[in-house]
Amino acid sequence: MADLDFRRHVSFFATGVAVISGEDAAGSVHGVTVNSFGSVSLEPPTVMVSLRPGRAMEIVESTGRYGASILTQSQQHASNHFAGNRDNSEQPTFLTRLEVPTLETCLAWFECEVLDSFTVNDHVLFPARVTACGSAEGDPLIFFASQYHSSPNRLG
């Protein structure tokens, strides 16, 4: 199977967009945009992210922690920023609520403690126990068919 065929077909799975963050030994916060973050278990609260090699992955491996910030529809600039497509817009800011930095403004945030790691081809999976979380009002940023989309109608 050709890589481009797989990429095109898998893009039809709609996902939310998250920024995975962590603080390095010098106290600098780094983030990376992902759409590979999700819930694994409710008892105990467990999530997982898939990261490819880079600064964010190095920080997660060395600290054993990561933050996850779920982006709102109005945060496409933040998604682009942490995906490496920086423009002249204001850099998103982080806030350490308890122990791990997450975006100051986001739809939901999670502070996570890594349980294990698994290498799968060119990525590493990091299941983690959620140690703190919270949310705010807003509509999610959705990624579908390799493009950002408006959120679906709210339920209820």
User: Per the omega criterion (within 30 degrees of 0), is the bond before 53 cis?
Assistant: no
Write the secondary structure of 8-41 as one string of H (helix), E (strand) and C (coil): HHHCCCCEECEEEEEECCCCCEEEEEECCEEEEE
Condensed to tens digits (0 to 9), the pLDDT of residues 27-39 reads 999 999 999 999 9
Condensed to tens digits (0 to 9), the pLDDT of residues 78-92 reads 999 999 887 777 789
Query: By CB neighbour count within 10 A (0-12 exposed, 13-18 middle, 19+ buried), where does 101 fall?
Result: buried
